[in-house]
Chain A
Amino acid sequence: MVKTGRHRKIGVQVVWQTGCIILLAVIMGLLVNQIRPKGLPLVADWSPETRLILESGENIAISLEEAREGFLSKRGIFLDARSPELYERGHIRSARNLPWQAVEDHFDSVMADIPKDRLIIAYCDGEACALSKDLAIELLFRGYENVRVLINGWSVWQENQLPVAKGSHPGRL
């Protein structure tokens, strides 16, 4: 009887305390977000295309058709931003591997012969994949002028049965 009473008491405590803690967190979070200089909008568009719009308003996404044209005309250089392990398992033919997670280590050797005004197409795998976007922003920061991102690049390239290669070498065009 005593035990049941204690359990009920704790149950009631759990309910009101949980509610109060959540309410406090909501109030503090919203208040601080409102006050801070670069507060987040409460609701944002997280679609892949929108995420590739830079602060300048420029959209760096490239369509598959444009990317394919860049590939066939040899105008574009493809950069695979995934890990070397995934690159070796398969990549867009002629693409170079510049893994975002080790970009400093590989940058000079991969980018040495690429002119700053050359069309560069970065890609990774998955619609939400941020590696190619991060790599593209880094390249723009380093002065490369024509950098684009092929969203979900590896998957869409394979789905459209475009040329691919395996191993640690880019493969011939």
Chain B
Amino acid sequence: MPKNSTLKPSEKKKRVWNRKTLFFVCARVLLGGIFVIASLDKISNPGAFAEIIHNYQILPDAFINLTAIILPWLELLLGLFLIIGIWLPGAAILSTILLVVFWGFLLLNLFRGVDVYCGCFSTASEAVSAGSMKWYALRDGIFVLLGFIVCFYVFFRKQNPADSAPEH
């Protein structure tokens, strides 16, 4: 195994390139995994998911059940496509848009003082639920960042044979 100092510049570049590619593939698979895991419970229990959507107090009543029926399947498909690496431009942009929307709704409810886990008011900033909502807002913010990393990978990086990116 040659030491770094003995590598030709082109080999060095290739090694760095591969590391970067590996990072982006990991980010893509991680994001896909998050979507798949998030979808499974919702698919198995759409009634409970409909309650959660209702608790957000954002959608009109007429759209709550329809969203509870379709959204988990959208999440599952996006997760699978991200993991397998097919239809990446569509999957990456759609998953990032979804994450931004979810995050926005959570922040909006944090601002409005609505506890999305029970649909109730939690006007006290020191309320127990407010703490956990802030934690979830931070977590979802990290997911959004992950979404942007994957989008960057899909749209702005040169094609690499190791990826199965935009050509699908």
Cβ of B74 to closest chain A Cβ, rounded Å: 4
Bound state CA distance, A77 and B68, in angstroms? Answer: 36
Q: In terms of DSSP, what is the predominant structure of the interface of chain A?
A: helix
Cβ of B148 to closest chain A Cβ, rounded Å: 15
Closest to A129 in B: B120
A20 touches B61 (CB 8 A): no
Contact segment of B5-13, B83-91, B136-144? B83-91
Cβ of B160 to closest chain A Cβ, rounded Å: 15
The A-contacting residues of B in range 24-48, CB under 8 angstroms, are 43, 46-47
> What number of A-B contacts does a CB cutoff of 8 Å give?
123
A17 touches B120 (CB 8 A): no
In the complex, per-residue mask of A102-137: 1 if CB is within 8 Å of any chain B CB, else 0:
000000000000000000000011101111000000
Closest to A16 in B: B90
A129 touches B121 (CB 8 A): yes
Q: In terms of DSSP, what is the predominant structure of the interface of chain B?
A: helix
Determine which of A45, A85, A125 lies in contact with B120 in the assembled complex, contact meaning CB atoms within 8 Å.
Answer: A125
Interface centre among A16, A25, A33, A38 (most CB of B within 10 A): A25
Bound state CA distance, A9 and B166, in angstroms? Answer: 9
The B-contacting residues of A in range 8-58, CB under 8 angstroms, are 9-10, 13-14, 16-22, 24-26, 28-30, 32-33, 38-47
Q: List 15 A-B contacts (CB under 8 A).
A: A9-B166, A13-B87, A13-B168, A21-B74, A21-B78, A21-B87, A24-B73, A28-B77, A29-B70, A40-B69, A82-B120, A89-B124, A128-B55, A128-B120, A155-B121
